[in-house]
């Protein structure tokens, strides 16, 4: 039995990387006030060969005892069973999430090694994602033929002036839309 556990990590303090990215969208890329907010989160997906309750307890213990995933002084960390929680379920009608991961998940291998070094093993696999939660100046209707392509265009870097969050040569990206749809942008 394999159980997937998700760790959602966000900053308690102001996120200067997200602030800089929002400024780049508004000023350097010329979108002005179309984008009204941007939040960056880290998401870890851990797999355990244990029943759900034990896997959740093990993940909470790893977070609390190692500080490898989150520094309690500056991060918030929520632990969820993947079967009970889905990324994007809490998106507002004016939000979308861009989910980016390095190909091959090298951070995951490094995290498993670090956990083993401190005697805190248990996870079978680890994968890291960066989630950019982007807020648009108005609700995003399903049939919007203007806003959705803009979100897709800012997500993947294709030139010096297009794209911001994903390098398609070394990363994958997908966008989660407020009505539950998921689109793969770079596989």
Instruction: Read off the CATH number of the domain in which 51 is found.
Output: 3.30.1280.10
Tens digit of each residue's pLDDT (9 = 90 or more) over 46-61 = 999 999 999 999 999 9
Tokens 């997200």 appear where? Answer: 18
- List the 95-102 sheet strands across, edge first: 75-81, 3-11, 35-48, 123-136, 95-102, 171-176, 182-186
Number of domains in the chain: 1
Q: What is the 3-state secondary structure (H, E, C) of 8-67?
A: EEEECCCCHHHHHHHHHHHHHCCCHHHEEEEEEEEEEEEEECCCHHHHHHHHHHHHHHHC
Please, are residues 25 and 153 in contact by the beta-carbon 8 Å criterion?
Answer: no
Which range of residues forms the domain containing residue 39? 3-186
**pLDDT reported for residue 141:** 86
Specify the pTM.
0.93
Tens digit of each residue's pLDDT (9 = 90 or more) over 137-175 = 988 888 877 888 899 899 999 988 889 999 999 999 999
């Amino acid at each position: 039995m394999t159980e997937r556990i998700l760790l959602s990590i966000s900053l308690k303090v102001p996120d200067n990387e997200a602030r800089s990215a929002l400024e780049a969208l508004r000023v350097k890329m010329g979108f002005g006030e179309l984008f009204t907010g941007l939040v960056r989160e880290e998401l870890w997906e851990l797999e355990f060969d244990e029943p759900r309750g034990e896997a959740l307890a093990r993940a909470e213990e790893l977070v609390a005892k190692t500080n490898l995933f989150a520094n309690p002084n500056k991060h918030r960390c929520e632990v969820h069973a993947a079967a009970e929680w889905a990324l994007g379920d809490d998106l507002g009608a004016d939000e979308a999430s861009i989910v980016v991961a390095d190909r091959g998940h090298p951070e995951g291998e490094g995290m498993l090694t670090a956990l083993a070094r401190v005697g805190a093993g248990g996870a079978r696999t680890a994968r890291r994602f960066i989630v950019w939660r982007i807020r648009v100046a108005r609700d995003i209707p399903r049939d919007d033929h203007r806003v959705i392509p803009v979100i897709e265009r800012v997500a993947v870097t294709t030139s010096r002036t297009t794209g911001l969050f994903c390098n398609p040569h070394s990363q994958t990206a997908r966008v989660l839309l407020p009505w539950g749809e998921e689109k793969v942008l770079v596989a």
